[in-house]
Structure 1
Amino acid sequence: MNLIILENHVTSQRGGQETNLLTICRGLFERGHRITLLYLKPGDLLAEYRSFCDRTIQISAYGFDWRSLTSTMRFLPSLIQIRQLSIEPNSVIFCNDYHFSLFASALSFFRQIPYVCYLQLPPLQLNRQRKFGLRNVDRFIAVSHQTKQDWIKFGTDSDRIRVVHNGVDLEKFKPAENSIQARQQWGIFDDTKIISYIGRIDREKGLETLIQATAILMKEGRRIKTLIAGKPLTHYSFSKGRECEDKGMNYLRSLTQLADSQDVSDQVQFVGHLANPISLYHASDVNVLPSIWSEPCSLGLFESLACSVPKVASRIGGNPEILAGEFDDYLFEPGNAEDLAECLDRVIDWREKDPTLGIQCRQYVSDYFSYEKLIDGIEKNLLELVIS
């Protein structure tokens, strides 16, 4: 099978979508499939793609803004690239973001190859050209049942959508060999408990709730340190014609101001983007996902559990699908700082009260959300289309 992968920015700094795609592509390559990567912007993941892809081709644009002549002219070379692209037998398009649907649809139509759209997000910002492009999708693959339901409500036929949950590489994400040493690497030399967040710095992640919960726990006499890892999300500005960090940086400043106003600026530390977050998982007593939007299927859920660190998450989106059964007790109401504080208070002493919990966390993801199960599911859906 020959996969034509459509990606936006080939970087690890935007979030889980990009790193998840790299994981899938590498896994399919290891099973003997050939990969061609089309991308808009180069980034730190490009070298890894080039190590196993047959071709990596930069595309000028996946769509256009009809209000901008510059944007429209930038899209025209992409149409030429569609005609010039060499297509191998048994090819299939794997589009990592439905926002690329116009280009993917054109490529599918003109070159007569099946088109799969990978749904890692609920339907947002769908203009006419994107809706048009989605009409020609042969199959959707959603990362959670909740994401599938979000798209069904949007009007997509349920029979066109398959669900394949994300997975985690258990060889990469392992428990700490020495948790005390891991804590010391982050400057913690006493019995202070470490609460961590790893992800992008964006309003939909609900980080205000985490900071407020930290303040509540401090007032109750808890010795804690909350480490927030990630960088502000860039947003595209049509007026400036480029991606800008202004909005994201303003949000980050608002979080530091909130920590000051809650008198927890010494307890809340923003540590920036981590190319490798494993050291922070190893140092953590608990990892938190405080999202206030319909979180599809966060990679951080699996990474934390694989490292034998309990995960506390908001009861929204796909989170309850992952933290099910015995882990349901680690869910809290979105935006409710008191509920989050109570949840953290229950779990944060697990090393003393229930030291087997870490083993249970890792066994859970091993049983249900392994890397192999993810690749199995994606491969099965793609092969069904190629064979048919």
Structure 2
Amino acid sequence: MKIAIISNLYPPYYLGGYEILCAQVCKELHNRGHKIVVLTSQHGVEKACVESQEFMIHRQLELYVPFPKAAKLMRRQRLRTSRTNYDTTKKFLHDEKPDLVFMWSQLRLTLGSAQAAQKVGIPTIYTFNDYYMGGYSPSAFSLRLRPFFRYILDNVFYRQITHRNLDFSYTTCISNVVKDTLLQKRVPIQNSRVINQGIPIEQFPYKKRQKITEKPKLLYVGQLHEYKGVHTILEALRLLPNLDIQLSIVGDGPQQYKDRLRSEAQNLRVEFLGKVPHDKIAEVYRSHDIFIFPSIWPEPYGLTHLEAMASGTIVISTNDGGHGEFLKHHDNSYVFKKDNPHDLADKIQEVLHHPQKTSQIVQNAREMVENKLSIKAYVSQLETFLKECLEKEKK
């Protein structure tokens, strides 16, 4: 198959797991003999360009608000960007003539590309790995003045910036949490197929661990936003003054929250490593004892959990989200209550005081990822789904 991938960002420019996974899937599909061509935004480059890697990457689309600026509704700007991306995508598809279009994150791209693919008549498949599409739902009807005004804008004057006329016959979701949340946000994906993400196991070699030393090394990897709950780790460490613990924080985010974390980290052994290139992250996992994920919002899934598990790093995490669909307390991880530093402190001590049990949990985690959640298993399911969709369209 010739597959056109359309994504808001594409590595080396990325926000998180959505874009990283997109690149991994593209490479795996390419290795299986499919012809891949990528259309993405100009984010990270000075002007529109075409790059040649294993396949062609067209950095030609526009974002209506560049990252990392805060996004606002901005209906007029979204409409202008939508029209520009519609024209760009229509020309791209006319030139490339793919068998199908595979839509990844359209966050800040608007839906111009999706509308162009549908207009051209090429089978279009969506993969939803977070909740972004809910932001394109038209405002619901209400008799209250402001909501009613928004309803008129979205359903009369700015229909093009909503998903109202898109066909969601072919979609996948990375977790049941994502599917249920999008349905609640009025995205019509009742028949979406849930396909759990996998990771490239070979990039995360397993490190068999001995007993954790007297100076345990803790790790957080992810974006630095308040809803990620990183402050909970710092609060938990203050409850463990008798332990010589070192914490490494990998990631980036708004300056205000980073300043708060640095302030709360005073007199603690905390190192802020910033954003680490993804091809270097495996060694970071291997050089730490415990990976902590303290998110206080329902995460779509858990890329970093899988990477840590594959690497042999102990996982202590909340489970309110898609990651809760594979985390099992005392089987492949330790689970603590969100926004609860006391419970987190208890789990850290439990890990340190029960090395034999912890060793078995780490081994179970590696086996789960290796046997069930590899990138090859994930792409095999995606590949089957894409072929099924294409066959249905041919009939």
Shorter-chain TM-score tier? 0.7 to 0.9
Q: Are the aligned partners of 1:103 and 1:133 in contact in 2 as well (CA < 8 Å)?
A: no
Alignment partner, residue 139 of structure 1: 170
Within 5 A, what are the aligned runs for 1:1-388? 1-10=1-10, 11-43=12-44, 50-61=52-63, 72-85=79-92, 86-88=95-97, 90-97=99-106, 100=109, 102-122=111-131, 124-126=134-136, 128=138, 129-132=160-163, 135-157=166-188, 159-176=190-207, 191-218=214-241, 221-232=242-253, 248-260=254-266, 265-275=267-277, 276-324=280-328, 326-327=330-331, 330-349=334-353, 351=355, 354-388=358-392
> Structure 1 residues 48 and 269, CA, compared in 2 at 3 Å: closer, same or farther?
farther
> Structure 1 residues 103 and 319, CA, compared in 2 at 3 Å: closer, same or farther?
same
Cα RMSD of the aligned pairs, angstroms, is: 3.1
Aligned length: 358
> Structure 1 residues 12 and 326, CA, compared in 2 at 3 Å: closer, same or farther?
farther
Q: Provide Cα deviations, 1:32-83, integer angstroms capped at 9, x if missing partner.
A: 1111211113449x99973222452412357999957666555444333233
Gaps of 5+ in 2: 66-70, 139-159
- 1:90 deviates by 2.1
Higher deviation after alignment, 92-101 or 356-365:
92-101
> Structure 1 residues 204 and 217, CA, compared in 2 at 3 Å: closer, same or farther?
same
Q: Are the aligned partners of 1:114 and 1:138 in contact in 2 as well (CA < 8 Å)?
A: no
> Structure 1 residues 286 and 65, CA, compared in 2 at 3 Å: closer, same or farther?
closer
Mapped to 1, the partners of 2:102 and 2:274 lie a distance apart of 35
Counterpart of 2:324, as a letter, is: P
Mapped to 2, the partners of 1:345 and 1:48 lie a distance apart of 52
Counterpart of 1:102, as a letter, is: L
Mapped to 2, the partners of 1:192 and 1:58 lie a distance apart of 49
What percentage of aligned pairs have identical amino acids? 21
Counterpart of 1:33, as a letter, is: H
Q: Are the aligned partners of 1:100 and 1:130 in contact in 2 as well (CA < 8 Å)?
A: no
- 1:381 deviates by 1.5
Mapped to 2, the partners of 1:84 and 1:383 lie a distance apart of 25
SS at match of 2:291: strand
Q: Are the aligned partners of 2:137 and 2:187 in contact in 1 as well (CA < 8 Å)?
A: no
- 1:353 deviates by 5.7
- 1:315 deviates by 2.2
Mapped to 1, the partners of 2:174 and 2:292 lie a distance apart of 20
> Structure 1 residues 340 and 78, CA, compared in 2 at 3 Å: closer, same or farther?
same
> Structure 1 residues 281 and 170, CA, compared in 2 at 3 Å: closer, same or farther?
same
Q: TM-score, normalised by structure 2?
A: 0.81
- 1:338 deviates by 0.8
Q: TM-score, normalised by structure 1?
A: 0.82
Alignment partner, residue 187 of structure 1: none
Alignment partner, residue 244 of structure 1: none
Mapped to 2, the partners of 1:283 and 1:137 lie a distance apart of 43
> Structure 1 residues 133 and 5, CA, compared in 2 at 3 Å: closer, same or farther?
farther
Mapped to 2, the partners of 1:49 and 1:119 lie a distance apart of 26
> Structure 1 residues 32 and 101, CA, compared in 2 at 3 Å: closer, same or farther?
farther
Counterpart of 1:223, as a letter, is: D
Mapped to 1, the partners of 2:73 and 2:361 lie a distance apart of 54
> Structure 1 residues 49 and 84, CA, compared in 2 at 3 Å: closer, same or farther?
closer
> Structure 1 residues 340 and 139, CA, compared in 2 at 3 Å: closer, same or farther?
same
> Structure 1 residues 169 and 112, CA, compared in 2 at 3 Å: closer, same or farther?
same
